[in-house]
Chain A
Amino acid sequence: MRRNPQWFASAAAALCVLGMIGCVVGAIIDPAAFCRAWLCSYLLWLGLPLAGITLVLVHDLSGGDWMATARPPLDAAIATMPLASLAGIPAFIGLASLYGWTHPASDLGNVFYLNPTAFFVRYAIYVVLWNLLAAYALWGARAGRLPIPPGLSWISGVGLIVLAFSAGFASIDWILSLEPKFWSAIFTYTQGASWFNTGLAIVLLTVALFGWPDGERRRHMADLSRIMLATTIFWAYVEFMQFLIIWEENLRTEIPWYLKRLDSVWQPAIYVSAALGFVLPFFVLLWAPTKRNRAAVAIVCVSILISRLAHTWLLVMPEFTAPTPFWLDVAAILALGGAMVMLFALGLRCARRLAPAGAPIWTADHG
């Protein structure tokens, strides 16, 4: 971290205030629309700490000296977990306006699972689990040496499984249950990949803007870009598989989910999501030299972030017949995003003190 991201934090504060004003005005005019907008913002920004935890836990098991470059922003990303996980509350206050299953028709068979009490119990469990995992992921950094003692790596393994399942159930609760009759078994993978790509894009964008490594560490960027390339391919793969299976089956319970999106005003978001979330990153990162190119990596990260934003709106908004004013959508993204970026920048300054840039840390053997 060479340059101080101070101006970045100031800009984030300004945007946060602007967004908050928008949200307050929006919540007074149309509380239901505010809940929808805030849900999208919540779903988008949650990707940052979730991706941070995932990458740190994976690294505990795999090793790789790229962590020396990625660790400070990853720590900062994980430290946003308390805010990111609790930020769902403003949206869930208006639960009845978001989810149809809160006032179910008699033919809905899964009310034992989809009811407000069970929903909030599950939400509390996710918050607790994720914050515990965040604390565990950060705890390694506090020791200032290897991420974890080798004898404890089983916790990382179990932690990854817990994280995968809890995030999967959360994505079903928050997104898939908007349409309680729709079901797709692969959806938890698409949302997990989407969250991971969001977080990794923010982390690598931070590295590209403020902490581009020099000399020997330059090759870390090739590794990190490779991870990003792999997960964008994975996202495209699972997303397309879901579409292909549902398109081929053409069943009345499933195909309306896609038709609703194709017929809505959010239709362009489909193409934005695919083009900026897969096509552009894939072809740019395919070539070895661009993986180490600062501008190329930064552009790919911004492109992925825009695509994830479009994708989140695409998942949520077409489920509602009443349109949300677009300024309110943007205001919600800015309000939570600004707060997240401020916390992230604060964490970045602390992480810098904890892990000196030149220290030979986390160099596990890998061939």
Chain B
Amino acid sequence: MKALFGVIAVFDTAEAVKNAAARLRQQGYRTFEAYTPYPVEGLDRIIHPRPQRLLPGLMFAAAVLGAAWGYWIQYWDEALNYPLNVGGRPYNSWPAFAVSTFELMLLVTIAAGFFGMLAVSRLPRLYHPVFEARAFARASRDRFVICIEASDRRFDASVVRREFEQLGAEQIEEVRA
């Protein structure tokens, strides 16, 4: 027998899954996730009400670093390593450097955002225990699924099962992985 990963419940409308998510959140559950066939507006904010702070901070730091790096390589090249007189302009010509500085800032920021997003979402990941559940099969077609994971502090399989029943779940199943 494999260890219990969580309890999964299937709902038949987007409203029902939003309602269920709000109720679970209210009752103090934190480690649960919804799986829906299309993005349900507002559901994300119900399950994760706090704005994500880590990724924007990381991207801002990357932007500052990228801009500094972009300016430095031009300054080092044009003013320190190989000074070239272009039409009598100063070696350290910030207007000329601004465009490339901006481009490198964007490159580093977007790279940080892309890889940071993968890291925060724990991607790429080819397997997830929730795939084991039979009820999960319709989550990509016409059903809305919520899974409370066993790692939640308040998790108790029988309590969770009763909770889902009260919320009007169509089908409830224990996921093992």
Contacts and interface: CB of A to CB of B under 8 A. Distances in A.
Interface of A: 240, 243-244, 247-248, 250, 286-289
B95 A244 contact: yes
Interface in B89-120: 95-96, 98-99
A244 B87 contact: no
A247 B95 contact: yes
Contact of B98 (A240, A286, A287, A288): A240
A243 B98 CA distance: 12
B51 interface: yes
Top 7 nearest A-B pairs (CB, nearest first) are A247-B95, A244-B95, A250-B87, A288-B51, A243-B95, A240-B98, A244-B98
A244 B51 CA distance: 38
Contacts of B56: 287-288
| Interface-central residue, B56, B95, B96, by most chain A CB under 10 Å | B95
Nearest to A286: B60
10 contacts: A240-B95, A244-B95, A247-B95, A248-B95, A248-B96, A250-B87, A286-B60, A287-B56, A288-B51, A289-B51
A243 B87 CA distance: 17
Contacts of A289: 51
Q: How large is the interface on B (under 10, 10 to 19, 20 to 34, 35 or more residues)?
A: under 10
Contacts of A248: 95-96
A297 B55 CA distance: 24
Contacts of A250: 87
Nearest to B51: A288
A175 to B, nearest CB: 22
Contacts of A240: 95, 98
B19 to A, nearest CB: 19
A287 B96 CA distance: 29
Contacts of B99: 244
Nearest to B41: A367
Nearest to B53: A288
Interface string B16-42: 000000000000000000000000000
Interface in B40-59: 51, 56
